[in-house]
Amino acid sequence: MRLLEEGQTVRDTYEVERFLGEGAFAEVYRVKHRFLGRQAMKVFKRVGMNLEEIHEMLGEAILLSRIGHPNIVRVFDANVLEAAQGTCGYFTMENIPGGSCSGRATIGRGASKRPTGAVVP
């Protein structure tokens, strides 16, 4: 069961448009901020955490918010939300359309190029 549903409103600010994918620790959704437009929202699967635990989980967002580089997504917001399963931490970031990056990056030059998956499992 997903943490969020299409059409759901989060914190009176975000409308969940669709589920994008998930990893071991989080689910990612495309959301629409009521003023700023489309963003990606990463919602941590672990529910019922206290604020200290949520702060630890948001380490990635905190780090990304301090870096400004054209090849790194921008973080816009980090907070907690109430899902049906309990309290979850989340952060929103720039939505980069186009699907997964899996298998797109390569290492090497010319004919010796190989997919990064061959180097980093």
Q: Residue 71 sits in a domain of what CATH number?
A: 3.30.200.20
CA pseudo-torsion sign 18, 51, 58, 33? positive
Backbone φ and ψ for 102, nearest 5 degrees, come out as: -55, 125
Per residue in 21-53, pLDDT (tens digit) is 999 999 999 999 999 999 999 999 999 888 899
- CA gap 92, 14 in Å, rounded: 10
Query: Which tens digits make up the pLDDT trace of 65-91?
Result: 999 898 899 999 999 998 989 999 999
The answer to whether residue 103 sits within a structural domain is yes
Report the alpha-carbon distance of residue 10 to residue 3 in Å, rounded.
11
Question: Is residue 89 in some structural domain?
Answer: yes
Number of domains the chain is built from: 1
Q: Is residue 1 part of a domain?
A: no
SS3 of 16, please? strand
- Residues β-bridged to residue 30: 18, 40
Q: Is residue 75 part of a domain?
A: yes
Q: How far is CA 21 from CA 2, 18, 31, 95, 100, in A?
A: 10, 9, 13, 13, 9
DSSP secondary structure letter of residue 7: T
In the chain, the amino acid numbered 41 is M
Which residues form the domain of 57? 9-118
In a domain, 3, yes or no: no
Whether residue 2 lies inside any domain: the answer is no
Q: Is 4 a member of any domain?
A: no
15 alpha carbon, distance to own chain's centre? 15
Residue 121 has pLDDT above 50, yes or no: no
**Would you state the pLDDT for residue 98?**
80
